[in-house]
Amino acid sequence: MSPTPGRLVDSFGRVHNNLRISVTDRCNIRCVYCMPETVKFMPRDQLLSFEEIARFVGIVAPLGVDKIRLTGGEPLLRKDLDVLIRMLVAIEGVADVGLTTNGMLLAPVAAKLRDAGLERINVSLDTLDPARFERLSRRKGLEDAIEGVLAAKRAGFDPVKLNAVIIRGFNEEDVAPLARFAREHALEMRFIEYMPLDAGHLWEREKVVFAQEILDVLASEVGPLAPSADRDPRAPALDYDYLDGGGRVGLIASVSRPFCLSCNRLRLTSDGKLRNCLFALDETDVKGLLRSGGPAEEVERAVAASVAAKWEGHEINTARFIQPDRPMYSIGG
Ligand code: SAM
Ligand code: SF4
């Protein structure tokens, strides 16, 4: 009997149709909220091959997974990513494939990725100031990142979303300039609250610039905003429209307004572990199953069990919270 679409429902009734796939743990920069300064990356033979990723997606698509996002590490460090995108869009049931990138390697390949069938693109850009870029990412490269954003726009991605993590003491002063830059170039700006997923476990609540504070800055320095009428209640971003018609901005308030109760996401790490939550303390070894040559039903059962075991939500705001061992770059944000 063929599996029933929409079967990935957890014990809280959440339907899982969204899969984020990390294609590498490697990165060309070292953002302080994500990576350590010195890092030992996984041996390449531990990474899932394109064929293994596509086989996994082919197994979960009939279970209702129709939305895929490629991430990392920096996904554009994975050679020939367009080949993987072509493989994924060809899988029956996959409705769209997106990419989250730091943009530094994007300019030369943006058009090729779009031709391969990439639907959506998010570029992470936390500052427009070269010195702050270097302090946040411990590397140079702001110009390349900006060039990547503009190239994505030229290649026809619409919208191009810009993601910024704002950390107190690092880049609060970038909120208004980033929002203005996004408006000027018709990009959709999204501000993300800093989460305890940094490699150094140095996260502190005091360093989080909460969504409300960002909204206040935007309203006073950029333009008045109102909640978007077509806001998707299941999406993590709280969308606002500028009242003067100059675009949209999203707030991802993972800490101050967790959206766990509408979470529809699963994550596959680059070394083939399935995680049912960003903050999960357990994971399921999918690579072992894929490499053992076992039947698809075995993988299906493992995915269904992982979904069934999903907890209600992260507990960042409680004393019970335990930061997972894997930092963001190794999970796939
Ligand atoms: N390298 C790509 C990039 O930076 O877009 C993709 C991987 S990165 C881990 C994905 C997203 O996670 C980025 O937007 C990044 O800003 C975000 N991120 C990383 N660490 C974070 C943290 N501790 N809190 C909030 N967002 C974080
Ligand atoms: Fe690399 Fe993205 Fe992590 Fe920054 S956030 S270190 S770009 S993986």
User: Residues 190-204: what's their mean pLDDT?
Assistant: 93
CATH code at position 316: 3.20.20.70
- Which domain, by its residues, includes 108? 18-331
- Residue 55's SS3 state is helix
Report whether residue 192 contacts ligand 1, using a CB cutoff of 6 Å. yes
Report whether residue 270 contacts ligand 1, using a CB cutoff of 6 Å. no
Orientation of helix 50-60 relative to helix 81-89, angle to 10°: 20
In a domain, 11, yes or no: no
User: Residues 54-74: what's their mean pLDDT?
Assistant: 98
- Distance of CA 124 from the midpoint of ligand 2 (Å): 8
In a domain, 159, yes or no: yes
Least confident interval from 175-189, 200-214, 310-324: 310-324
Q: Which of 21, 22, 35 for mutating ligand 2's site (highest number of atoms within 8 Å of CB)? A: 35
CA atoms within 13 A on the CB side of 89: 17
In a domain, 7, yes or no: no
User: Residues 220-241: what's their mean pLDDT?
Assistant: 90
For residues 74 and 25, what is the distance between their CA atoms, to the nearest angstrom? 7
Average pLDDT, the chain: 94
Overall pTM surpassing 0.85 (yes/no) = yes
Task: Supply the residue whose CA is at minimum distance from atom 7 of ligand 1.
Answer: 72
Give how many domains the chain has, as a whole number.
1
In a domain, 5, yes or no: no
Structural tokens at position 76? 């554009």
For residues 73 and 270, what is the distance between their CA atoms, to the nearest angstrom? 9
Q: pLDDT higher for 267 or 6?
A: 267
Sheet holding 96-101, edge to edge: 225-227, 237-242, 248-252, 188-193, 160-166, 120-124, 96-101, 67-71, 18-22, 265-268, 273-275, 284-285
User: Residue-wise over 313-326: b if at least 16 C-beta within 10 A, else e?
Assistant: ebebeeeeeeebeb
- pLDDT surpassing 80 at residue 233: no
In a domain, 8, yes or no: no
Q: How many CB atoms lie within 10 A of CB 93?
A: 15
- Distance of CA 294 from the midpoint of ligand 1 (Å): 34
